[in-house]
């Protein structure tokens, strides 16, 4: 037991010795608060209602994790999955899906259509902060 503990301590010390600075071994990132994600989702839902559309909307973080999912009363059963996949595609490929849809129609980017969960259709929009850092996406 004592030897195992020493091995773990030695491995830990070696890890931190390799990193020139302990801060270099830690990555920080920005993320949306739940309140901000909800505000984005409600804004998208309101805009679509104003235009006469019943939709679902999904807001995901930069890692593809769903933060908010809203579905209007008359939105079809497919819309929740579609909204998530549009947002996921925007985050995964780091571009709005309307631009991606054009490049995925034909040519080398066509293979995107075969990526699990990818949905290169318009409607997935990146959410960025004032510095341009990607925080997530809405679909």
Check: CB of residue 85 under 8 Å from CB of residue 106.
no
pTM for the complete prediction?
0.78
More confident residue, 13 or 106: 106
Q: What percent of the chain has pLDDT over 70?
A: 79
Reported as a pLDDT band with limits 50, 70 and 90, residue 69 is very high
C-alpha distances in Å from residue 103, one per residue of 50, 58, 82: 30, 23, 19
Q: pLDDT, tens digit, for every residue of 72-131?
A: 999 999 999 999 999 999 999 999 999 888 877 776 666 677 677 888 889 999 999 999
- Domain 34-138 top-level CATH class: alpha beta
Taking the C-alpha atoms of residue 36 and residue 32, their distance in angstroms, rounded to an integer, is 6
> What is the SS3 assignment for 135?
strand
Find all residues with CB under 8 Å of 89, minimum gap 6, and list them: 97, 100, 117, 118, 119, 120, 124, 139
């Amino acid at each position: 037991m004592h030897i195992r503990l020493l091995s773990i301590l030695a491995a830990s010390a070696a890890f931190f010795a390799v990193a020139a600075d302990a801060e270099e071994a830690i990555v920080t990132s920005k993320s949306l608060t739940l309140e901000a994600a909800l505000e984005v989702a409600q804004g998208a839902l309101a805009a679509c209602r104003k235009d006469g559309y019943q939709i679902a909307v999904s807001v995901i973080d930069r890692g593809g994790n769903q933060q908010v999912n809203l579905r209007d009363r008359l939105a079809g059963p497919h819309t929740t999955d579609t909204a998530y996949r549009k947002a996921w595609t925007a985050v995964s490929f780091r571009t709005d899906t309307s631009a991606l849809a054009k490049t995925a129609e034909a040519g080398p980017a066509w293979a995107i259509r075969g990526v699990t969960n990818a949905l290169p259709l318009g409607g997935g929009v990146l959410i960025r902060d004032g510095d341009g850092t990607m925080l997530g996406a809405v679909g």
